Structure 1
Amino acid sequence: MGTWDIGPFDNDHASDFAIDLDEAPAEQHAELIARALNAVMPPDGDTGSRSADPAVAAAAVVAAQLPGGPPTDPISGPGKPVPPLPRELVPLAISALDRVVAADSEVRQLWSESPNGHLWEEEIARLRAVMAAGNSDG
């Protein structure tokens, strides 16, 4: 797996997820995003990078549609517009991010060995904050 920076789409797995979104019909985007988010959730959730990276990318897509949400990466993120997503994805995305940064998360353990691990966690915290604020608006 290649990781080139700390952003939600700055790795091969997340970039592949963005390609999958671009190739899927718009009406399937919410399902693909929910599937990526659910992949890290207990009881069988996989927090290795193969599942966690797309979950973070999916959460970034959800956050991008909320007030104050950062736009998705124009190079490695989805190249096509994502239609409005159901609000029900916001709490799922928050839970998925919480799972990705949990103490027993495999991907978090990998990032803890990197000099940029704290920056990655700060990026996740920013996404989570946008979604938490957007979730309380509804």
Structure 2
Amino acid sequence: MGTWGTGYFENDTALDFMGDIEEADDPKELFEETLAETMDMDFLDADQGAAVIVIGAYIDRQRNGTQYSAPEHPGSIDIDTFPDRHPDIDFSELRTTVIKALKKVLANDSELNELWAENEGAYPVWRRNIEMLIERLSEK
């Protein structure tokens, strides 16, 4: 990946997936399909893991109102305005599945986890960011 950072949107794959969400006729259907694919995978590749993290952030934004600063990237998408632009979409029934998928991102059979584990300095920060997302999504 050309862009690489510990934040949810700090990689090219995440930004590309955000573009896919914006272009989708039905973002919820895209989330459902991506999560279903994720749960069927024995080994989670990095691109799929990045997509799961983005989905988790979008659901967190809608469900909990968590504010995310827009990525520093030309033509970046502002996740914070998504609920206002799509007030009719309800992701609440995807919460349990996205939590399971995020845990899969942190598991040993995840390429993204393997790649981050190679960076001893940044890995704890990246992992904690995902754990905090899971915690927010797990709150009742």
TM-score range, shorter chain: 0.7 to 0.9
Q: Does 1:106 align with 2:108?
A: no
Quick one: distance in 2 between partners of 1:22 and 1:10? Answer: 17
Q: Contact 1:72–1:78 at 8 Å: present in 2 too?
A: no
RMSD of the alignment, in Å? 1.9
Deviates more, 1:118-127 or 1:69-78: 69-78
1:130 equivalent in alignment to 2:136: yes
Equivalent-residue separation in structure 2 for 1:46 and 1:12 (angstroms):
21
Residue 2 of structure 1: how far off its partner (Å) = 2.4
> What percentage of residue pairs aligned between the two structures are identical?
28
- TM-aligned CA distance change 1:18 to 1:7, over 3 Å: same
What's the offset of the Cα at 1:73? 4.1
C-alpha distance in structure 1 between counterparts of 2:123 and 2:37, whole Å? 22
Q: CA deviation at 1:3?
A: 3.5
| Alignment check: 8 A CA contact 2:59 2:91 kept | no
Corresponding residue for residue 74 of structure 1: 70
In the alignment, is the contact (CA less than 8 A) between 1:61 and 1:72 conserved in 2? no
Cα shift at 1:81 = 1.9
Question: Which ranges in structure 1 are unaligned for 5 or more consecutive residues?
Answer: none
* TM alignment of 1:2-17, pairs within 5 A: 2-17=2-17
Query: Structure 2-normalised TM-score?
Result: 0.82
CA distance in 2, matches of 1:65, 1:85: 8
Residue segments in structure 2 that go unaligned for 5+ positions in a row: none
CA offset at residue 47 of structure 1?
A: 1.4
> Structure 1 residue 12: deviation in Å?
0.8
Report the CA distance between 1:55 and its aligned residue: 1.0
Q: What is the alpha-carbon distance in structure 1 between the residues aligned to residue 108 and residue 123 of structure 2?
A: 13
Residue correspondences, number: 130
| Alpha-carbon distance between aligned partners in 1 of 2:116 and 2:29, rounded to the nearest angstrom | 28
Shift of residue 24, structure 1, vs aligned partner: 2.0
Q: Normalized per residue, which structure has more helix?
A: 2
Cross-structure match for 2:44: 47
